[in-house]
Structure 1
Amino acid sequence: MSTHRAPVLQVVVTSTRPGRIGGVVGSWFTDVARAHGGFDVRVSDLATLPLPLLDEEAEPWERRYTHAHTLAWSAAVEQADAVVFVLPEYNSSFPASAKNAVDCLFQEWHDKPAGIVCYGNTSGGLRAALAFRPVLSTVGMTVLRQQVTLQHAGRLVDGDVLRAQDDHDAAATGMLDELARVAPHLAALRGARTA
């Protein structure tokens, strides 16, 4: 990460289900992140990103990708200095699309901070977030303790707008502050690893 540019924050909207509210949640968080001003914010929406289930012959750690969709996904994640996953809870866990997006790559995730914006009904997506954390740690990410939890998220959606409460905005800003604090240190680790 150069001091001459803002760190790149990749927001990954993981739900691909028709009728999902993930796009609305992702748009709200993206707006908060852009207003924060500490990042060059980019968005990858897995509902529109053509990323099939693991279809590369080589192991992801080898980075011998042959498909255009994997190469594009690799480039997007490689450019990121931090990643936030917008994560729903399905059946007490995270969606397969989220796991597949992580599993398609390996080295690109190393030494990058990860935040989670989880949403659901009564639990607010906490069980999904708890299950997803070890997945991110295994690919070498540093998962922040802070996360954003949207309980009964469907009730917060008004058309294509999320009517977030003050505590949601505060949680999102706090997580962004922590990402901004940690990202330069992990960028230095990545630089040392590739030198």
Structure 2
Amino acid sequence: MMTSVFAFVGAAFLIAMVPGPSTVVILRRAVVDGRRTGMATVLGNECGVLMWGLAAAFGLSALLLASQVAYDIIRMAGAAVLVWMGTRALWQARRVGPPDQGPAETAPVSLRRAYWQGLVTNVANPKAGVFAVSFLPQFVPQGAPVLPALLAFALIWAVIDLIWYLPLVWLAGRVGGVLRRQSVRRRMEQVFGALLVGLGVRLATES
């Protein structure tokens, strides 16, 4: 069992390092609104990771592999969420004052809203469900009780993901403290908005 756990930890770290929609959302919140807001987004994302892990443990996410309709529904919903977030970011960029002004005076996002953004971004990503149902069972040792092992791996997966994002949020918050002028804030929102819209369109159009 310990051999499987060590192998899973290494694989989970590698998977966590691959950037995706959650990474963009987390970095945006940390850069624009600070570390606390970034951490709230991370906690929401990890709850989503844990939910997909639990779904894999109970066989619910297997529906994504068995049903093209179920996969497409979640895929289109996830694409709509990403496009909506990206559009809001682009709109926020327009609301930031002229580039010759000083620090931005926009209202910060609440911790609750940041948490829900992280959660929804992860839950609405069908790739996370397919990954969970195809990835986690590979590490269950032969003869081990399947359900407890999958639940344990789901928890480890969420913890590993959290450990990876902690230094990223810290660095993003550190950089974000420097990016306070209106012109820089506008540009950051434009970049993050374009990335989110692009990810949403890509998710909607892929097979």
Task: Answer yes or no: same fold by TM over 0.5.
Answer: no
Bigger RCO (CA 8 Å, 6+ sep): 2
Query: How does the TM-score come out when normalised to structure 2?
Result: 0.30
Structure number with larger C-alpha Rg: 2
Using structure 1 for the length normalisation, give the TM-score. Answer: 0.31
Q: Which has the higher strand share?
A: 1
Which is helix-richer, 1 or 2?
Answer: 2
